[in-house]
Structures are given as C-alpha cells and as structure tokens.
Amino acid sequence: MTRLFLHALAVLLLVVTLHACDLLETSDPYPEGTASVRVVHIAPLASSVNYFHLEDVIFTGLNFGDITEYADVQVGRNIDGFLDEAGDTLISREGMSGNLAKRFFDYERNFTVFALHGPSGSGNVHIRSMEVEPTPNAEGNVRMRVLHAVSGAPAVDIYLTEPGGSISAENLFQFEIGFNNQGGSSTASPAGMPLYLAVEPGTYDVKVTAHEDNAVIFSQEVTLQSSGNYTMVLVPTEANDGVGSVLLLPDN
C-alpha cells in the first residue's frame, strides 16, 4: 500500500508541476494597462529633444527647462529614450546595462523621466527615471527628495534655512550629494531612486555648499505646501558649470 501511495503522490506532483510550467509559459509577464510619464529637460548643452517610448514619439520639441504634463505609456520593461530634432537617437535604454536598461513602468504608477548630461559635462544626453509618489501626506507633513543633476558641479551639502537665515548643523538637509546622487545621505532604494525625507511645511531658503565647505554657492527660496511630496532638482546653469536654479517638482 505504501508503494501505491508513493506512486500516486509522484503522479500528482508531476501533474501540478506541468500545470505550473504551462501557466508560466502562456501567461503574459506584464499586465495590460498603462503607466503615466512626464519628461523634464535639464540638459542645457543639448538641442531640442523628442522623447520616445517603444514605437511612439510621446513628446516633441522639448528644450532646456521644459516640463511636460503626464502622458500614458504601456506597462513593462520597455525601450525608451531621446531623439534629436532630425529623429536620430541621442540615447536609448536598449543599449544600457544593468537596472538602467530595465526601468519597469509599473501599472498605474507615475514616473518622471529626465534628460540630463552625463558625468563628462559635455553636450551628451543621458536618461534618468524616477518613480513618483502621488499619495498625499497627512495634513501638516511634507516629504522631499533631491536629484543633483549638475554634472559640472562637485558633491554638495544642502541646507534648508529660514528665509535670510544662516546655515548650521541643525538645518542641514542632505550632505555629500554627488552628481546623479552618488554617495552621501541620499539613501537610495534598490532601484537606485533617492528616497523621500520628511520636512516641515513652510518657506525656506535652499542653500547649497560644496561638501564640507561653509561658503554658500547657491541660494533660492522655496515654499513647501502641507501634505505635498516634492522632487527638488539642482538644475545646471546654461554652461553646465554650476547650480543655476532649484526646480521644485510637485509629485502629488
């Protein structure tokens, strides 16, 4: 009887395994549906760019400083990138390695795609995607993250002071943030996205210094609205040789 029981169990396990394999082979790895994508052009030495996703050109004629509205794109690990005005590819995620080539536009999620320069500081165009957190905070709370997009600038420390105030250890927001958020306190998720950090709502001076230097190299006033999520971008000058402005992107 034991031998018959073991035989029946083996047959049952085989049937279950074959059924599971059949499901894996025939199921679509990505659900039907769309994600929402907006594009921000922060590569000052680049010409006008177009953004494409799969076979479709989604946005055209984007110049330095332009920010699009959200547009729906197909869910999945899909090829996207930037074209120049003539339609030639400036950069495509197809030719990139690692996680950069596998940006997963997930179902009913929001994403910001940046056109920015690479570390050489020349007119080359790179691509960076960041998922957006659209869920409002509880009233009275704010969350903010930083993207250092100035390839011609060193690692920086960022302070949030009262308007006209001085920098101090108490108002240090993030430190040693390198270009494209290399190093420092921009603790990243496994996908490489800087994480949102809690901030009190209000009006601040964003003050930027070179890392471990008390000389302020840039200052700009910003207002953080209650319940907001923000991506604060350090935007380069037109010559890409320093911080030219702070762009405060509302994410919800």
Show me where the domains of the chain are located. 34-132, 142-250
Per-residue pLDDT at 215: 95
Task: Give me the pLDDT at residue 77, please.
Answer: 82
Checking phi first, is residue 56 left (phi over 0); if not, alpha (psi -120 to 50) or beta?
Answer: beta
CATH 2.60.40 fits 34-132, yes or no: yes
Q: What is the pLDDT of residue 152?
A: 83
pLDDT at 103: 60
pLDDT of residue 47: 85
Task: Give just the sign of the alpha carbon dihedral 90, 105, 178, 41.
Answer: positive
Topology alike, domains 34-132 and 142-250: yes
Profile the chain (252 residues) by mean pLDDT over runs of 10 residues. Answer: 49 43 44 88 94 95 97 90 93 69 73 88 81 85 93 92 96 91 55 79 97 94 96 94 95 92
- Strand partners for 49: 62
pLDDT for position 21: 43
Give the DSSP letter of residue 134.
-
- Kindly give the pairing relationship between strand 80-83 and strand 49-53: antiparallel
* DSSP for residue 107: T
- Is 0.75 surpassed by the pTM of this model? yes
DSSP 122: S
Classify domain 142-250 by CATH architecture: Sandwich (2.60)
Tell me whether residue 21 is exposed, middle or buried, using C-beta atoms within 10 angstroms of its C-beta: 0 to 12, 13 to 18, 19 or more.
Answer: exposed
- d(CA 48, CA 55) in angstroms, rounded, equals 20
